[in-house]
Amino acid sequence: MSAQPLAGVTVVDLSRYLPGPLAAQSLAGLGARVIKVEEPELGDPLRWAPPRKGGRGALAAQLLSGVESIALDLKKLPARQILEALLRDADVLLETFRPGGLARLGFDPEELRRRFPRLVICSLSGWGQDGPLANRAGHDLTYQAIAGCLAPAPGVPAFPGADVLGASHAVTAILAALHERSSSGEGEWIDISLFDAAFHANLVAWAAEVEMPAHVGEPHDLSGALASYHLYRTADGGWVALGLLERHFWKRFCKVLGRRDLRRLVLSRSPEAKEKLADLFRQRSRQEWAELFARHDLPAEVVLSPSEAARHPQALARGLLKEGPDGLPRLAFPARFGRQRPRAGQEFPELGAQTQSLLEELGAALPRPGRRRGIGPRTGWRRMIARLLLRGR
């Protein structure tokens, strides 16, 4: 099977920041052609988000590599006509405006469905297209807060789970819509939200609620309630992650350490059990625990820093993280097809780098040299776009 299963699929990406570009980059990694439409002056704010190297954002290098960039000021009519021309040949439109934002630009999703019946439109928003919070501002932390994800142990999550899972679910929905289109011939309008993704991710909590409703600060079994599924400090100040849920693993752990007295604590939720284990783990260094876990095949590992994780033999064997030609990181697609791992292009495009080539591909030309790469209002330019649209591409 090809490692580029989406070759031939064209995605027009109007998204910014993290979730939309992550979804677009995943599609690019699978072989789709992604045309990213950016505002001419600054483009996607990801480009300038710290940390930076050589003036380029490290996060942007991961999320924008392998896509094409066209700079269009969609507040201007000629630029909107260019976007319409792009959509004529596109398979997917990805956007992350608040509800109604796309319509205000003159691209109401329902109208787009009538004009481009094969187009799959994915509206990825914070709260979704309806509901009392639909037009409310938000960020990953607030979506997780309202979804109940932060309740077991209130604190800032280690990674933006709502953003990342929202992007992943968006890709899943887009692929499902493209599959359905292959038989029906019709596209779809997908409404997906980061709040929905966070709510869905909280599935263990919803199961726990059946037994006993929990308050904020009350962990469930997989969020800190169990002594055998917990984090503990080591003698040298490191941390270990214990994942001994099954009885046979717990029995092996106790036997290896010669601590038969701990066997009765399997799946214990008591503070006393956690304190006993805390005392135990403070007796050896992080490396000593790592060697013991590996030697006896126990589901427990030491907690690594990001740089340590990047150098871990498993990460290296799987080829997950590479350095791009600009010295910034590039992430591989997190799945293999056979023995091949899809990988988006390594090139991180400058803002508007493909504007001219894309316009030439559409049959238009840029204004005379010296003008900005973004397309602005001009009478002659309007006539060129009108001729383009009349060609019926």
C-alpha triplet 52, 58, 64: angle, nearest 5°: 125
pLDDT at 213: 86
Residue 252 has pLDDT above 60, yes or no: yes
How confident is the model at residue 344, as a pLDDT? Answer: 63
pLDDT score recorded for residue 364: 53
Co-location of 333 and 280 in the same domain: no
Residue 111 lies in a domain: yes
Q: Residues 134, 55: one domain? A: yes
- CATH number, domain of 284, equals 3.30.1540.10
Tell whether the model's pLDDT for residue 171 goes beyond 70: yes
pLDDT of residue 378: 43
Taking only the tens place, the pLDDT of each residue in 182-201 is 999 999 999 999 999 999 99
Residue-wise pLDDT tens digits, 26-48? 999 999 999 999 999 999 999 99
Q: Residue 202 pLDDT > 80, yes or no?
A: yes
The residue segments making up the domain with residue 377 are 10-201+321-390
Residue type, 385: I
In tens, the pLDDT along 15-24 reads 999 999 999 9
Give residue 371's pLDDT: 45
Whether 176 and 79 share a structural domain? yes
Q: 337 is written with which tokens?
A: 């097809």
Return the pLDDT at 365: 40
Q: What is the mean pLDDT of residues 116-133?
A: 96
Q: What is the CA radius of gyration of the chain?
A: 25
Residue 288 placed within a domain: yes
Phi and psi at residue 56, to the nearest 5°:
-115, 140
Residue 339, in any domain of the structure: yes
* Lowest-confidence segment of 201-215, 258-272, 314-328, 359-373 by average pLDDT: 359-373
pTM: 0.87
Answer for the pair 43, 351: CB distance below 8 angstroms, yes or no.
yes
Domain assignment present for 211: no
State the Cα–Cα distance between residues 41 and 63, nearest whole angstrom: 19
pLDDT in tens, 37-90: 999 999 999 999 999 888 888 999 999 999 999 999 999 999 999 999 999 999
> Among 18-22, 226-230, 325-329, where is mean pLDDT lowest?
325-329
Q: What is the mean pLDDT of residues 165-183?
A: 97
Same domain assignment for residues 111 and 258 = no
pLDDT at 322 (0 to 100): 87
Domain final residue, candidates 302, 332, 348: 302
190 with 120, same domain: the answer is yes
User: Is 326 in the same domain as 249?
Assistant: no
List, as one string, the DSSP characters of 186-209. Answer: --EEEEEEHHHHHHHHTHHHHHHH
> Is residue 166 included in any domain, yes or no?
yes
Number of compact structural domains in the chain:
2
List the one residue out of 152, 106, 147 whose CA is nearest residue 126: 147
Burial of 272 (C-beta count, 10 Å sphere; 0-12/13-18/19+)? exposed
Same domain, 104 and 227: no
- Phi and psi at residue 69, in whole multiples of 5°? -115, 125
Q: Are residues 152 and 65 part of one domain?
A: yes
The CA distance from 12 to 86, in Å, is 7
Asked if the model's pLDDT at residue 370 lies above 50, the reply is no
* In a shared domain, residues 283 and 158: no
The whole-number pLDDT of residue 197 equals 96
Q: Are residues 291 and 366 in the same domain?
A: no
Kindly state whether residues 284 and 373 are assigned to the same domain: no
Same domain, 107 and 15: yes
Question: What sign results for the dihedral spanned by CA atoms 31, 320, 18, 346?
Answer: negative
In a domain, 313, yes or no: no
**314 within a domain of the structure (yes/no):** no
State what percent of residues in the chain have pLDDT above 70. 91
Which of 200-209, 215-224, 304-313, 360-369 has the least mean pLDDT? Answer: 360-369
Per-residue confidence at 251, pLDDT binned at 50, 70, 90?
A: very high
Is 116 inside any structural domain?
yes
Q: What is the CATH number of the domain that holds 191?
A: 3.40.50.10540
